[in-house]
Amino acid sequence: METINQKTALVTGADRGLGLSVAKGLLKEGWRVFAGKYLADYSLLEDLAAEEKSLSILPLDVSDPESVRAAAERIARDAGKLDLLVSNAALMGGNARCAVGGDAPVDTDALLLSFRTNSLAAPILTDRLLPLLEKGEMKRLFFTSSEISSVRLQRRTGDVRYAMSKTALNLGVRLLFNSLRPRGYTFRLYQPGWMKRVNPDGSRVAGAQIDPDESAEEALRLIREDRIDEDRLVLTDYLGHELSF
């Protein structure tokens, strides 16, 4: 249920992992949240929606401009504005068929799918949601990247498909920044850390470094607080450290 002046956010990839944790945190802080849901495997959002009147579940495939258009229409109809975009959905993607000099030829279709989902979706979402963001007050754009995106820090010998998509994302965000920072928009580019995977029942898969709930705390701080250096585009991690590109 919308209350007067309630801030509105769209979180993509919100049916599990970091997206779900950020959506929950925003709800706790009083936001109206549109939560993007892609596949039907997870029902954690539905469980949450049963208790949270400020949560709307939005069917959304970020790699499909038609789906993005429909989502923008729904937000326009139900809320009329957007203060915050959390572009978080991503496809991990295997490596084997995309490496140069690998066992099989480079798989162009796989590279393109990762590009459309992990990289291009960010500018497409921003573009299609811009009229709603213009009506919002906060004008904050949050993008989940990864340390794997950093060319400078790259020590890996694999994961090319995912790494390429996140580096491309950073550049796409730079182009958005160049256009929209002068118009008052503020940007967050976030490395959430090596997070525990979430099972369909909400329990965590063993391993990894931190829980998505923990990483979401830093994400929420970045969303809540203004920075001293909003005119710089920076990639920061869940510990608050800046990473080089």
CA-wise closest residue to 10 among 66, 77, 64, 60: 60
For the segment 122-161, give every residue that binds ligand NAP (CB under 6 A): 144, 146
Sign of CA dihedral 63, 225, 242, 187: positive
x/- contact string, 122-161, with another protein (CB under 8 A)?
-xx-xx--x------------------xxxx-xxxxxxx-
Position 42 contacts ligand NAP (CB under 6 A):
yes
Sequential DSSP letters for 38-103: -SSS--HHHHHHTT-TTEEEEE--TT-HHHHHHHHHHHHHHTS--SEEEE--------GGGSTTSS
Could you say which of 48, 75, 91, 120 contacts ligand NAP (CB under 6 A)? 91
Residue whose CB is less far from ligand NAP, 60 or 82: 60
Q: Classify strands 235-237 and 242-243 as parallel, antiparallel or unpaired.
A: antiparallel
CA-wise closest residue to 165 among 148, 188, 153: 148
Of these partners, ligand NAP, another protein, none, which one is at the site of residue 163 (CB under 5 to 8 Å by kind)? another protein
Separation of alpha carbons 28 and 99, rounded Å = 43
Provide the 8-state DSSP code for 205: P
For the segment 158-197, give every residue that binds another protein (CB under 8 A): 158-160, 163-165, 167-176, 178-180
Task: Identify the H or E element spanning 172.
Answer: helix 160-180
Residues contacting ligand NAP: total by CB under 6 A = 29
Residues that bind ligand NAP (CB under 6 A): 12-13, 15-19, 36, 38-39, 42, 60-63, 88-92, 117, 144, 146, 192, 194-195, 197-198, 212
Residues that bind another protein (CB under 8 A): 65, 98-102, 105-106, 108, 111-112, 115-116, 119-120, 123-124, 126-127, 130, 149-152, 154-160, 163-165, 167-176, 178-180, 233, 244-245
